[in-house]
Structure 1
C-alpha cells in the first residue's frame, strides 16, 4: 500500500465550466503529481480547525505554499502588504503541532516552511524587500526568483540536494527566527531557505518550490520516511 500523504489546501474562489467564482478547496496539481511520482498517495486536506484526527490515517504531511501567516501568531502587527487567511492558519497550525508531537514525517514548502518555524516559536520577516533591499525572491507576478543556496554540511537537505545548489522561489516573506528548528540552508543574501528538526524522524522545510520540478529527492525522502 502506498504511503498516504496529506496535502494542506487553499479555499479560494475558482472558476470552471459554467461555475464562476465558487468557493473551492484546491491545491496546484504539481504537489499531487510530485507525491504520486515519489510513490505516495496524495490526499487533499481542506482547512479544519476542529481537531487533528485526520493524522491517524496519514503516513506523512505536506504543508503547501499559499498566503501569509497571520502576524499575531508570532506576536507582530500586520504590515501593509501582509495578506493572511486565518481559517487556513487555524487548521494548519493544529495539524503541524500534532504531527510534530506524533513524530509524523513533515515536509513544508514555502509558506509550509514558515508554518513550521512559527509553530515552533519562530518569527517572520513580513516583507523581504524592506529587509534585504531587493525583490529577487519574487521578481514579478508569477515569475520565480532564481538563486543558489548554501547548505550546512551533514544536514538532511545537503544530503538530498548534493552538488545541485540551484533553487527557484516565489515569496515576499521569510523566516527571521526559526524557533526550535535549525536553519540548514541560506541564499546568497543570508535568508533562511531550509530548516530541519534533527530530533525528529523527518521534518524539513524549504522556502523554494520543488513541486514545480517534481523534485524526487525531496518528495521521495518524504514518502520513504512515511513508508
Structure 2
C-alpha cells in the first residue's frame, strides 16, 4: 500500500441508492459502484460514498467538502435542460434532476479548487455538461453497448486510442487499450477547457480531460468486472498522483510565504 495515501479521502458519488422500479438495472449499477469503492480502499483511500439524488445539492457539497479527490460514477441520463436538449429522444431514461444539479456543482467546485476528479460514463458527461458542453442524445450502433441483450451482457468490448501526450495515456501507460462500455449518449460540443483524450474506432470521443485542471473523464467502465485488471487501479492511482502534486505545490507556497 502506498504510504502517501494514508488518511486520504476519496468521495465516490453515485446517482441514487434506490431504483425499486428497476431492480435488475440497479443491481448491475451497484456491482460497478461497489467495485470503485473496494478498489479505492485496496489502494489505501478512505472512502465516503454519497448518492446525489438522496441529498440536496447543498448537502452533497457539504458531505464532500473534505475529499482529497472525487469519482463520479455511472447511471441515468442527465436531464436535457442542463445542456439545451429536449426530452422524448430515443432511449431516454429516468432523470434525477437534483442529482444532476449536485454533481454539476461538484465538478465546478473541483475546477475552482483544483481537486482531482475522475468521471466514469455518466460522470464524463456530467463533467462536459458542467463546463458548458453538450451531448448527442442517442447512438445505437452496437459498438458502445450490446443491443437487445440482458443487462448482464450489455457491456461491449472495443478498442480505444488515447491521445499521445494526454494525462490519461500517461496514467494507463500506452495509447492503445481495450475497454468495456455501455452507453447510448456521447460528448458532442466540448465544455470550456476540455480536450478529447481518447477516441473509439468510429471516431467518437471516449475520454476527455481538462487542459489545466486535474479533471479526467472516461466514457467506458474501468470498474466492470471483466475490464483489464489494472485499469481502475491505475486511474485511481492517477488521482493520488494529482493530489500529491497539488499538495507539494501548496506546501512550497506556504513555506515561501512563511520565510
TM-score after normalising by structure 1? 0.87
Higher relative contact order (CA 8 A, sep 6+): 1
Greater per-residue helix proportion: 2
State the alpha-carbon separation in 2 of the partners of residues 160 and 223 from structure 1: 11
Alpha-carbon shift at residue 77 of structure 1 (Å): 0.4
Alpha-carbon shift at residue 222 of structure 1 (Å): 1.1
1:136 aligns with 2:143: yes
User: Equivalent of 1:81, from 91, 97, 122?
Assistant: 91
Greater per-residue strand proportion: 1
1:126 aligns with 2:137: yes
Q: Indicate the RMSD between aligned Cα atoms, in angstroms.
A: 2.1
1:178 aligns with 2:183: no
1:9 aligns with 2:21: no
Q: Residue 117 of structure 1 corresponds to which residue in structure 2?
A: 128
TM superposition outliers: structure 1 runs of 4+ over 6 Å: none
Alpha-carbon shift at residue 73 of structure 1 (Å): 0.5
User: Equivalent of 1:217, from 229, 234, 246?
Assistant: 234
1:93 aligns with 2:110: no
Alpha-carbon shift at residue 14 of structure 1 (Å): 5.5
State the alpha-carbon separation in 2 of the partners of residues 149 and 46 from structure 1: 30
Q: Residue 23 of structure 1 corresponds to which residue in structure 2?
A: none
Alpha-carbon shift at residue 50 of structure 1 (Å): 2.2
User: Equivalent of 1:207, from 194, 219, 227?
Assistant: 219
Gaps of 5+ in 2: 1-5, 24-28, 245-259
TM-score after normalising by structure 2? 0.76
Q: Secondary structure at the match of 2:109?
A: helix
Number of residues of Structure 1 aligned to a counterpart in Structure 2: 214
Q: Secondary structure at the match of 1:39?
A: coil
1:226 aligns with 2:236: no
